[in-house]
């Protein structure tokens, strides 16, 4: 493996899917400003997601529309009949 190409500032980060309130913790180097208390009692940085595998139609088999800042309306206006 090449030396010096991987980030060194990774740490445990909680990712929260805001559409279904599902959270998971993993190592990441994403910049965050918020923190949250995890199930083990420790406080970790929090990164908010709009969609994850728990809410994406491909994984769930269900279609659920989440309109963030009118994106669906813009799409329908642009590509609608």
Strands (E), 1-81: 11-17, 22-28, 34-37, 43-49
User: Are the beta carbons of 16 and 50 closer than 8 angstroms?
Assistant: no
Q: Is position 6 within any domain? A: no
- Residue 5 lies inside a defined structural domain of this protein: no
Residue 27 resides in a domain:
yes
Per-residue model confidence as pLDDT tens for the chain (81 residues): 688 888 888 899 999 988 788 899 999 999 899 999 999 999 999 999 877 766 755 556 666 556 566 777 777 888 876
Q: Is residue 3 part of a domain?
A: no
Is residue 63 within 8 A of residue 57, CB to CB? The reply is yes
pTM of the full structure: 0.64
Into how many domains does the chain fold? Answer: 1
């Amino acid at each position: 493996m090449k030396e010096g190409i991987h980030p060194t500032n990774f740490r445990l980060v909680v990712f929260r899917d805001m559409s279904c309130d599902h959270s998971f913790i993993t190592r990441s180097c994403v910049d965050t400003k918020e923190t949250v208390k995890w199930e083990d009692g420790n406080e970790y940085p929090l990164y908010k997601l709009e969609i994850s595998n728990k809410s994406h139609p491909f994984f769930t088999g269900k279609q659920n529309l989440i309109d963030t800042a009118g994106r669906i309306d813009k799409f329908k206006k642009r590509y609608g009949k």
